Amino acid sequence: MSMNDNRRIVGEGTPESDWLAWPGLLDMPAAEASALVPAGSRIVMVAPHPDDEIVGCAGLLMQLAALGHEILILGVTDGTGSHPGSGYWTPERLAKARPQESLRALEYLGLAKVPILRLGLIDTRVTQERAALIAHLDDHLQPDDILVTTWRGDGHPDHEATGQACAEVASTKGCSLIELPIWTWHWASPGDPRVPWERARRIELSLDQYERKCTALEAHVSQLTADDTTEQGPVLAPFALARLLRPFEVLFL
């Protein structure tokens, strides 16, 4: 998946060691979940694929649940496009497996009661289905909701289309918007001028929250195993996991 400005999600990307050596990551202002979300507000997490809510903001969701906030997850797609050409992970198998993986992951986080509303859009085609996504969001969002989703510049077309739709509806509805960089860590480099670092905040995870997040991600077996039918490695290879499983999460406010 390539973009016109070389935001390419190919190869191994920027190694985590480069990010950890960058002072800008460690000096990023910290934010508290309690300060991000007003008391009584509902959090609506809009996940392009059934794992983005885990890799992007599992810690934040656990912290907000502990504060008593109502949480709703909107699953944009069922993740059926993650293994093109696979003889095993066919779209039909993925349509069943990936939503189930998401449910198991939430159980590991202690969030089994959080409702997930699956919107059924087509994986890899969210850009083309933008109008349908906006209509769904308009139906389900309330003006005081806090909307959490993938960053509009994340580099993955589905992530960007979801972020753009959420930003548009948040603006018209009066919702607050929190964006998550996920694939950004792959194609960007420390201090990359294409990334809005001035909007970035760190959410620190407790040891228990970090361990729960790691365990939750293990539920996504389809994304963590090699595919013998295509001789492709895992979608979430170890070098990608290193960037996604940190003891903190980064948000763009």
Instruction: Return the CATH number at 155.
Output: 3.40.50.10320
Whether residue 7 lies inside any domain: the answer is: no
Whether residue 85 lies inside any domain: the answer is: no
Q: At 7, list the tokens.
A: 């935001």
Describe the chain by its helix, strand, coil percentages, rounded to 5.
Answer: 40, 15, 45
The residue type at 37:
V
Whether residue 15 lies inside any domain: the answer is: no
Supply angle C-alpha 223, 225, 230, rounded to 5.
95
Q: Count of domains in the chain?
A: 1
Report the alpha-carbon distance of residue 42 to residue 173 in Å, rounded.
14
pLDDT in the model for residue 8: 83
Whether residue 58 lies inside any domain: the answer is: yes
pLDDT in the model for residue 4: 46
Within the chain, which residues score under 50 in pLDDT?
Answer: 1-4
Separation in Å, CA 145 to CA 60, 107, 169: 15, 24, 11
Whether residue 87 lies inside any domain: the answer is: no
Report the alpha-carbon distance of residue 105 to residue 99 in Å, rounded.
10
Asked whether the beta carbons of 178 and 150 are under 8 A apart, the reply is no
Separation in Å, CA 153 to CA 85, 157, 159, 245, 249: 27, 9, 8, 21, 17
Whether residue 205 lies inside any domain: the answer is: yes
Convert the pLDDT of each residue in 46-78 to its tens digit: 999 999 999 999 999 999 999 999 999 999 999
Phi, psi of 81, deg, nearest 5:
-105, 15
Q: Enumerate long-range contacts of 233-236, CB under 8 Å, 24 or more apart.
A: 235/82, 235/83, 236/51, 236/55
Asked whether the beta carbons of 77 and 121 are under 8 A apart, the reply is yes
Whether residue 88 lies inside any domain: the answer is: no
Report the alpha-carbon distance of residue 244 to residue 65 in Å, rounded.
21
Convert the pLDDT of each residue in 127-162 to its tens digit: 999 999 999 999 999 999 999 999 999 999 999 999
Q: At 246, list the tokens.
A: 């940190």
| Domain containing residue 224 | 21-80+99-252
Whether residue 235 lies inside any domain: the answer is: yes
